[in-house]
Amino acid sequence: MRFKTRTAAGLLVSVAFAACDDSTGPTAPDAGPDDMLTVDAVEDWAFVTLGDPATEVEVGDPTGSAAWDMAFFSTSVMLNGGDAGPGDVRGFCVCDNEDLSDAQVMGLDESSGEAAFEAVTVADVPADEEAWLGDELAPAIDGWWSYDFVAHEVTVDPAAVFVVRSADGSSFAKLHATSITGATQQHAGTVTLELSVQPGAGEPFGPTTTIDVDVSGGAVAVDLETESTVDAGTAGWDLELSGYAIRVNGGISGDGEAGAAKVDTPFEEVTDASELPTGVYAGDAFGGVFASDEPGRAWYRYNLDGNHQIWPTQNVYLIRAGDDVYKVQLTGYYHPDSGDSRHISFRYQRLEP
């Protein structure tokens, strides 16, 4: 699900699982002794293993570790399965609150959330294996190409415009793909990017540059400072094209501060890529049941009262880890005591077979 907010300078931004974290908002209910956990998801991923009780764990390489089940960073949630890790953890959204209006979501409180949680039982566990979702790469730059099943042709969408923050966090850019040639089932061939770099926050854009990125031989990175391609893995890379994915050096794809946001403004009319709140520049993530674009599955809604706040939907998710199935409900984005953002609280309980 995408949420839109208009910034002071007029950019209409499509925000996919990223939000401003400069405002305090509805706090989570007080944690119980065993059935609730609050994790610090401010600066990095917080990894959790489900159990009685659930606990935070230290993880070096999440893609190679089976020691974690769920992880949280900002508004993103990932499961240790699919592309994200070897744990084969999968999720299913019960989604009884998908039809609630924004006003009803804002009116949810501790008692209504707890009632929704208690209503989910083992009878809600799906028997269909295809109902369980594993995590896949959810790049911050997405939706820039499409495939015509009749003409068997891959095309780009020049109207898919993105603003990007560089890996060192000091500069910005606007970009979009303008053409694609030589695409195969395995890779996008040569992708032409049109971009303009903003050397610092609030500064004017430099001249518009066109870069041809040939991914037929493997991954190729882009350095925004030099506005040129570099070898994948080069220190300080900002973007990397591989197959049909455009990654940013941030989130799960790199240790930089790069992030991106899609804007519903023509490329020529974007005058400031640095104006967005910090949290809007999303890094890459893995997502499945928590990152679906299907209406109703999101664990939160954003900016419902114009204050850039996160409002939990109180949807209940089933998480299957090994032979165990847990019901999980994300109840807050703000610390229950301090009100600080990016502190995710959730209820959990193992369902007895």
* pLDDT tens figures, 196-248: 999 999 999 999 999 999 999 999 999 999 999 999 999 999 999 999 999 99
Say whether pLDDT at 107 is over 70. Answer: yes
Say whether pLDDT at 186 is over 50. Answer: yes
Query: Which residue has 């369980």 as its token pair?
Result: 132
Q: Report phi then psi at 56, rounded to 5.
A: -80, 145
Give the span between the Cα atoms of 34 and 189, in whole angstroms.
52
More confident residue, 18 or 296: 296
Token pair listed for 143: 């939706």
Dihedral, CA of residue 145, residue 14, residue 318 and residue 118, to nearest 10: -160
Dihedral, CA of residue 230, residue 233, residue 238 and residue 243, to nearest 10: 80
